[in-house]
Amino acid sequence: MNGLKLELMRLDRLPAGETARVVKIHGDGDSAVRLHALGILPGSRIHRRQTAPLGDPVAYDVNGQKISLRRGEASLIEVEPG
Amino acid sequence: MGNPNTGKSTIFNHLTGIRQRVANYPGITTEAKHGTMSLPGGSAELLDLPGAYSLTASSPDERVVIDVLLGHEGFVRPDLLVCILDASNLQRNLFLASQLAEFEIPMILVLNHWDVAKKQGLRISREKLEEHLGVPVLATVGAKGEGIAELRAAIAETLESPRKMTRISWRDGVNEAAAAVVSGGSECGVELTRPEAMRLLFDFNSALKERFPAERRKELEAILDRARETVHAAGLNPAAAEAVLHYGHLERILEESVEGEVSVAAGQASESIDRLLLHRVWGSLIFLGIMWLVFQSVYAWAGPLMDGIDSLTGIVQDAVSPLLSGLPIFQSLVVDGIIAGVGGVVIFVPQIVILFLFIALLEGSGYMARAAFLMDKMFGWCGLNGKSFVPLLSSYACAIPGVMAARSLEDGKARITTIMLAPFMSCSARLPVYLLMIGAFIEPQYGAFVAGGVLFAMHFVGLAVSVPIAWFVNRVVTRTPSLPFILEMPRYQVPVLRNLLLKMWEGGREFIVRAGTIILAFSVIIWALLYFPRSASVEQAATETFMQEVIAAGGIAEQELATRLADEESELATELRNRVEGAYVEQSYLGRFGKAVQPVFDPAGFDWKVTVGVISSFPAREVIIATLGITYKLGGDVDEESDSLRDRMKAETWTSGARAGQPVFTIPVVVAIMVFFALCSQCGATVAVIARQLNWGWAILSFGGMTLLAWVAAVVVYQLGTFLSSISSP
């Protein structure tokens, strides 16, 4: 049997209403630094809430706050289910 | 200092009351306030910096905070930092405080929203926190004014015996890296303090790099890269290191000091409300409803107040006028120049105050963030974000409060773009021009339905032209990237009345003082250009011509005419006055300028009377109606509905030149005039407000750019229109 490669999911793919755990935030640019400053760190739990009418941005619950992230920022965050 | 949405402003307002001003830092337009608070034995100056989640400074606006903390760029280093925290979300809120500790300035921590934390079941031990953090920890409920007295006392006390917040003990790798940056900076000729070095190390493309001369920046980059490598080697991700270490440290402290469940979510009640307000269908509809309400309030409800101010101005004018009848020039200056000018400033205040009220309501309740969320996608295309929505929408009523409202946008680029777009939104002052033109020329020929359609379309001309330009500038010309748009949606709250009133007051006051002076100056200048030169010979000549005309028309003998004219109330006397007024305007500097400049507007089909009208309306658009009235010798009291004005305009023909004998107001000319007004910068007040919010460079660019654009568009419309009508009518 071939080794099944576990596909690492990014936050922008998290289905509505689901919770996930942050693995890491990719990149070292401005977005990454700011996301970290908000307490979105490896191990944080993040829960997807509402989506804006045109599909972007999306509201998430994380670290005791509700924040809106555009697809660009959300795609930097690698998550795993749970 | 503190995170956004912590009630920082409420507490600031409690401490300073009405003794506060918006701080205007040169070159930066972030909204900061400074005020005075009284202390036993004196007073203290309090500075309210914009809310921030961290000290990361990628933009010049954020850099101001660092400059303040270090006492650079002419700021005085603070003696005390009062950190306002949201007690129900301590961990994230303490992150900023923990970063601030590096600057070693005495601090007080204020746990605001204490009541919410209690309701959430959190039991926070202030004593334990004080023990761990080394600074006074107070509890307040800003909205109710609880704990404020204790805060005042604590401030006074800590100024006497300062206490600094315990700094986290960084790991060796980080200490090494920070030291390397400091020494590296020294080699480049800049003496960095440790906190500055850490900002350069941890922030991506920190604005602090600007402290270094341009030629050394590459060197600086190399130093930073090496330092980050050191951090990496110590097993940390440099982009995450600061957060990981601070939060780790804070988690341990909070475990010991706080009991109770802290959920992942912000709050149950708010979430239930969001289920409706952020619902894809219902949420959007409610949003549209609320925006319609805001728009209506500025557009329509301010109306009666504005009419009142208009009448009041008229009353004052009528009252003052006879007092100065001995000195005609001075009388006109005071009545038509100064009083009219002041009236022209004050008339905007209702709109500004009402808009600021709504904005304060939306922000204070927490709904503003939801509105920005719903609108964000559309705005992203132009380099803006959802927060630009309210300023731009309000600009549809009047650009002045719209531009002022843009002040709260943190992203500098988005703020500038929003302010430059605001005047393109079809403001209510353009409406009289549209109504006059459409009512006189389009409706009679094409019917009410087409007329309505044209009116509707005119509202979007500005939008249609400016948005592609903004998109183009954003994609092609941008040098500074926009900040990532990460928006917090705070818990819903009941707005605090005191804050609302203070915001309204501050908005009105700032407008009158800052922009009002410039508008008044413009009004007086335009008055002068329309008044001078004034020689008796003009009046004499006009009177003679008039009398001859009346006699020639038959029926009245010279003697009777003189008697009739002596009666100031008679129809003939009124007509003569209008004639004389018209002649004066024609002879005035502005009138002569209009005639001289008419060739510039000839390709757009404007004759000299239209040109003078256009030029005179540069300070304020609606002025054209009155000016047209005067130039067409009907007196200045006409409005856009006046049949007399409409008839006169329809009958007007070119007296000379290539089009001699043809009507001036053909459909292409009419549309060209409307398009010109749609796009032209004809509001001295707006230019003044842009200058105050940004700087004169942008204001002049707005004025020049829009005027040029308007001219080009008017010419294109006229030429194209005339061409099309010539080929369609054989």
pLDDT digit string (tens) for B71-108? Answer: 888 788 999 999 999 998 899 999 999 999 999 999 99
Asked if the C-beta of B268 comes within 8 angstroms of chain A's C-beta atoms, the answer is no
What dihedral do alpha carbons B465, B471, B473, B477 form, nearest 10°? -160
Report the C-alpha gap between B173 and B177 in whole angstroms: 6
Task: Using CB atoms, pick whichever of A28, A56, A59 lies closest to residue B238.
Answer: A28
Bridge partners, residue B46, by sequence: B35
Distance CA B85, CA B61 (A): 22
Any CB–CB contact under 8 A between B280 and chain A? yes
Q: Is B493 part of the contact surface with chain A (CB cutoff 8 Å)?
A: no
Chains A, B: CB pairs < 8 Å = 151
Claim to verify: residue B484 and residue B545 sit in the same structural domain: no
Q: Is residue B236 part of a domain?
A: no
Is residue B59 within 8 angstroms of chain A, CB to CB? no
B124 to chain A, minimum CA–CA distance in Å? 16
Question: What distance in Å separates the CA atoms of residue B203 and residue B178, rounded to the nearest whole number?
Answer: 13
CB contact under 8 A, B274 and A65: no
Q: Does residue B266 form part of some domain?
A: no
Which residues in chain B have their CB less than 8 angstroms from residue A50's CB? 274-275, 278-280, 283
The partner residue sitting opposite B374, judged by closest CB among A33, A42, A52, is A52
Are A57 and B489 inside 8 Å of each other by CB? Answer: no
What is the per-residue pLDDT for B546?
81
C-alpha to C-alpha distances, A30 to B143, B211, B355, nearest whole angstrom: 34, 19, 34
Note whether A37 contacts B243, CB cutoff 8 Å.
yes
Choose the mutation target among A19, A26, A34, A71 for the interface with B, i.e. most B CBs under 10 Å.
A34
Q: CB of B261 within 8 Å of any CB in chain A?
A: no
Angle (CA) B186 B192 B196, round 5°: 145
Tokens encoding B523? 């009004």
Task: Tell me the shortest Cα–Cα distance from B42 to chain A, in angstroms.
Answer: 38
- Residue B481: list chain A partners with CB under 8 A: 30
Task: Say if residue B644's pLDDT is above 90.
Answer: no
Provide the CATH number for the domain around residue B148. 3.40.50.300
| Per-residue three-class SS string for B213-234 | CHHHHHHHHHHHHHHHHHHHHC
Three-state SS at A77? strand
Question: For B256, what's the count of Cα atoms within 13 Å in the CB-facing half-sphere?
Answer: 11
Residue A9 contacts B, CB cutoff 8 Å? no
Question: How many folded domains does chain B comprise?
Answer: 4
Domain locations in chain A? Answer: 10-81
Beta strands in B94-219 (DSSP E): 107-112, 123-124, 137-139
Task: State the pLDDT at residue B384.
Answer: 83
B713: Cβ–Cβ under 8 A, 6 or more apart, which residues? Answer: B465, B675, B676, B679
- pLDDT value of position B71: 86
Average pLDDT over residues B231-243: 88
From the list B95, B203, B271, the residue facing A39 with the nearest CB is B95
Nearest to B489 among A28, A38, A67 (CB): A67
Looking at B559-629, which runs of residues are DSSP E strands?
none
Q: Is B487 on the interface with A (CB under 8 A)?
A: yes
Test B376 with A28 for CB contact under 8 angstroms. no
Q: List CB contacts (< 8 A) between B4 and chain A.
A: none
For the whole model, what pTM was predicted? 0.81
The answer for B 361-390 residues in CB contact with A (under 8 A) is 369, 372-374, 376-378, 380
DSSP annotation of B146: B
**Which of B303-317, B505-519, B589-603, B680-694 shows the lowest per-residue confidence on average (mean pLDDT)?**
B505-519
> Residues B245-268: pLDDT tens digits?
999 999 999 988 888 876 666 677
Position B5 pLDDT exceeds 60: yes
- Clarify whether residues B369 and B411 are in a common domain: yes
> Which residue in chain B has the smallest CA separation from A21?
B264
DSSP code per residue over B260-297? S---SSS-HHHHHHHHHHT-TTHHHHHHHHHHHHHHHI
Q: Which domain does B180 fall in, by range?
A: 172-230
Q: If you average pLDDT over residues B207-223, what whole number do you get? A: 86
Model pLDDT, residue B113: 92
Token pair for B244: 């990981």
**A19-25 and A77-81 as β-strands: parallel, antiparallel, unpaired?**
antiparallel
| A39 in contact with chain B, both atoms CB, cutoff 8 A | yes
Query: Is B455's Cβ below 8 Å from some Cβ in A?
Result: no
Q: What letter represents residue B488's amino acid?
A: E
Cβ–Cβ contacts within 10 Å for residue B125, how many? Answer: 14
Across the interface, do B377 and A55 touch by the CB < 8 Å criterion?
yes
Identify whether B552 is part of a domain.
yes
**Nearest beta carbon to residue A33 from set B56, B279, B488:** B56
Q: Is A59 on the interface with B (CB under 8 A)?
A: yes
A13 touches chain B (CB under 8 A): no
Q: Domain A10-81 adopts which CATH fold?
A: SH3 type barrels. (2.30.30)
Taking contacts as CB-CB distances below 8 angstroms, the residues of chain B near A74 are none
* CB contact at 8 A, B91 and B251: yes
Does A75 contact B at CB distance below 8 Å?
A: no
Same domain, B491 and B530: no
Report how far residue B263's alpha carbon sits from residue B319's, in angstroms, rounded to the nearest whole number: 67
Structure tokens at B699: 């204001």
Is B92 within 8 Å of chain A by CB?
yes
Query: Is residue B516 in a domain?
Result: no
All residues of chain B having their beta carbon less than 8 Å from the beta carbon of residue A37 are 53-54, 56, 95, 242-243
Does B271 reach chain A within 8 Å, measured CB to CB? yes
Percent of chain B at pLDDT > 70 equals 95
Choose the final residue of a domain: B501, B532, B567: B501
Residue B250 maps to a domain: no
Answer yes or no: is pLDDT of A1 > 60. Answer: no
Among B131, B71, B130, which Cα is nearest to B103's?
B71
pLDDT computed for residue B25 by the predictor: 60
B386 and B535, same domain (yes or no): no
Q: Cβ contact (<8 Å) for B489 and A59?
A: yes
Q: Is residue B353 part of a domain?
A: yes
Q: What is the DSSP string of B446-495?
A: HHHHHHHHHHHHHHHHHHHHHHHHHHHIIIII--SPPPP--EE-PPP-PP
Q: What is the pLDDT of residues B472-517, one digit of tens each?
A: 877 776 666 666 788 889 989 888 888 889 888 888 887 787 777 7
By C-alpha distance, the chain B residue nearest A56 is B377
- Chain B contact present for A8, CB below 8 A: no
Kindly state the DSSP code that residue B633 receives in the 8-state scheme.
T
The DSSP bridge pattern shows strands A58-62 and A45-51 to be antiparallel
CA B164 to chain centre: 39
Asked if the Cβ–Cβ distance from A34 to B53 is below 8 Å, we say yes
B355 located within any domain: yes
Would you say residue B169 has pLDDT above 80?
A: yes
CB contact under 8 A, B280 and A53: yes
Which residues does chain B have within 8 Å of residue A17's beta carbon, measured at their own beta carbons? none
CA torsion sign, B390 to B391 to B393 to B394? positive
B146 lies in some domain: yes
Residues B263-305 pLDDT 10s: 666 677 888 899 889 988 899 899 988 888 887 777 677 778 8
Torsions phi, psi of B126, nearest 5? -70, -30
> What does the pLDDT read at residue A3?
47
Tell me which of B26 and B41 has the higher pLDDT: B41
Average pLDDT, chain A: 87
Contacts of A64 in chain B (CB under 8 A): 88-89, 91-92, 262-266
- State the DSSP string of A7-53: PPEEGGGPPTT-EEEEEEE---SHHHHHHHHTT--TT-EEEEEEE-T
Question: Is B569 found in the same domain as B486?
Answer: no
pLDDT in tens, B396-439: 878 888 888 887 777 778 888 899 999 999 887 888 888 888 88
Cβ within 8 Å, pair A33-B89: no
ipTM: 0.91
Same domain for B118 and B200? no
Are B50 and B198 found together in one domain? Answer: no
User: Do residues B337 and B407 share a domain?
Assistant: yes
Q: A52 CB near a chain B CB, below 8 Å? A: yes
For residue B205, the surrounding DSSP H or E stretch is: none
